[in-house]
Structure 1
């Protein structure tokens, strides 16, 4: 029936120059109508670049995860149905969970203080992105906290997910609530009002709000001198009264903050609006409306103290950035430096102030500056960060290498207004990598030239085998390099296998550093029987424990030993016969 059987697989080949090439092998077997094989069709596609790209992508993903872990913001990935898929450590710590696993097992709905907030969020999330949505969550212990949530709807592997970032804003909300409460008090409280005769400063009227404000009983303030409400300052209460009344006599009004004193001696602040009025009964009087602003004054004091603390914190942060061993800068979207740290300024033999306002074209040759600026524009136009870019940096001390990250800076409208850049010197690391590469190349060169079979075994796998090993056991290197320790037992002669496993277990159960040496028979891929001598020793390979195993083909030696035994046996028989004769 002319059936075609086919297969497809990815595998590695070795080029003539010994380099590895990845291919996608597609094979089809064409049969005769009788069912007998007719011929085989094979198509080989070079996929080395794709494989390398996949490896780079995995490395990029690893670095991305490290960056996400370093960000001081909670990051999580959830489904619209309310399942936690992924998060960083900051996320589960914000919610008071001890581990990532316990947080991911918790339904998203259980994290909300009010389930209606979740429904509202889903409704608003019809758009692709939800920015700075303020929502109430609850810690694992049930306590409420406020969070600012930014959520992006994305498709990942055909699944719709929400990528969320959130920050605890509880303190800010509490401050806002305090301010709102103070505003409500200031808006709704009744002002304290009194009338004072202009000619002698005697109180002729006070409303209940004023009496309560100053701690007097109803009617108790009537007939008293207005000076009783003034607190002593650098002036006496009487001089404060005379000063205000003098201004009133000239201008007809006075407005300002004044320090007052209650009946019990408590000092407090009021804002007073005072004006002159011709009263039909009392003549010219002062109409004074007092508003207790003590809380506002305290709030202002706290605000000033808070601003001082934040200013101090900003100074500390600038000091930290100045002494970080890296180039840190903030530029606007027109290529002007707005802020730089001391390390960057020193690198250009300038002060931070001198660098402020300069562009790359003021500092570098045209071609180099344009290359840097083109790279910046990619971040500005795309709004996407470029992280951990390794690039050369030419200095007065010669060429160095830096790892650079450029992050877009968004304003409150979501527009990119500049970039934040961080570059750290990785010259020593690059040198170390180069030395390691040279060392590995030397090792492989020596190993390939060695007449001894050499195997490096690590993490229960064959990490390296030289061609001498392949020549002894007749298996291709690419196959050997895919073996586990268990796979190596398949070439051991069945009669010798228990002995070999016993020798291997001596290291596992005893001294790891012990040198093991033993002889055994192996069966090659072609079925030949060979004797080999095995020696294994512990070492460190690429920073981890490993075993170096040498293999020597002693088949000829064993055959000679057998021949010598046979000759010795014949000699003994001959001597025995001669003695009897």
Structure 2
């Protein structure tokens, strides 16, 4: 009986699909069934009597072993579902139950890998739908309908809502779920939209609905679609259409404003149908035609058109039928029979099917404008009369073509007026001397800055007459509006005689400069001899000569030095006038140069007992020619020293203003009268001080300040002076 029972037990154990094994307290296998053999890929003989740790190295670190060990120690059964990686690398999930037995522990394990994978897929699917539910833009809510004894909907309960519901309504999920809508939104039962009745019936009847309604408790407009997934319940999806509803309201208000705008517009509005009958006019249009608004409605367009304009009016209407918008001027007949001049902007009007439905026009009364144009025409006639008698040539240019020229222009150029009228300006450029065409082009374009324009106005240029004769002319241009177009008015003066006189004068100046240059060189040769022999006598025989002779020889030597300075200035003057000075400016420290000049003149200043105040920047980095600016600064400083009586004060200052360096040299010397100030910078503009009882230096050629002015101007700068009058000192400026 025992053997039979044992056999039955063994057959039962082998037939179980769960893996069953037992371990003694030494962790040796004492029992395994067929399923356990298959799972471990080992035979029963390979398992029984072996320690678990030997068969499965590292198992001590798994969650399963922790369960084995816990039951072995506590003698309490436990269960775990966990993954296990077999020696062949395959990972499976197992549902493991462990029970305490007399010898150790009994373990029953079931492979639940497929169930685990299905559960994982289900969770992922639910996550996808939950993500869609949570992230959809439309609001969603699921409700249970609450009915009264007569099975009529009296309320509904919130079962579930998505985040968009919160965003669109402003209500919080935690304040709604499980609650009736009447609790969440008090007053909804009295809402004219009847949300409870409409959507309660959806849940009861299963008939879906879609509505656009305003919710008073939330103060928003919604478009809502409702359906019933099962009886007694309904779900809704909805979007907030408040902004759209506001836009519709704004459009309605805009249309009202548009109508009001037409009524109040100072411009006439005239609408006609496809048969040219009037369907709409505003008060301004009725005023233009002299009728009341009521009188105009229904009247045909042609009732207001003069007989001579009927043909052109038909052409305009044909253009409207062809979809063409036009702007034009037109005469209409008013109620009193008078004509009114108007300007129209007329546009076609088509219905939704593309059929011509008439046209509308904005109409302006231009009667006063027409009268003004007539006066302008008369004014133009007066201008023409004056222009024809003017000794100044007058030309009017529009769109690069000559539209008017007077007889003076014709005489200057040697052409008949009809030969020049409507000629392109570019065609006339061949009559301008090639070297002067840039001047003429810039003069016409008038696109230069004020300084350049002022300079150009002083320039004349050469033209060829029809006969080939060269004439000099001066020309100016201005732009003005004529006949609603930009028009260039050109004035032209023949300055040939004046220009020829200037050329002759220029030749004389050049001759004078050449004479000065030659004279300077001719004077240098005997001067060198005089100076040389004087120095020789003083050096070799000074000890044998009496004091009077030595004094006379020293005076000769000083005279030679003065004459040398004069000759040097004359040579520099001729160079400047002949444009032979090469600037060669470099970046230098102007402050250093000023201090150098001061140092060289300190002895002269000390001999006259002057106090010199230096108030210049430590460094003044700018671009200049060292040698030439040395001459300028030395000249100004020496003048201040020489022309200031002893014990005077001289102040040198620097200032940076608008990116310009300004140097000023101030003295409290003899000053200048207004008349003297006019000539101080002119060539040979020396002011005679001899015999005036002034304790000052009086030598000089009158070229120093002239040369200084030219050098500063070569640097692109300016030089000027200020003086309040005689014996009131002066200030010389360089910028």
For Structure 1 versus Structure 2, the TM-score category normalised by the shorter chain is 0.3 to 0.5
Relative to its length, the structure with more helix (as a share) is: 2
Please report the TM-score for the alignment, with normalisation by the length of structure 1.
Answer: 0.40
Relative to its length, the structure with more strand (as a share) is: 1
Q: Which structure is larger by alpha-carbon Rg, 1 or 2?
A: 2
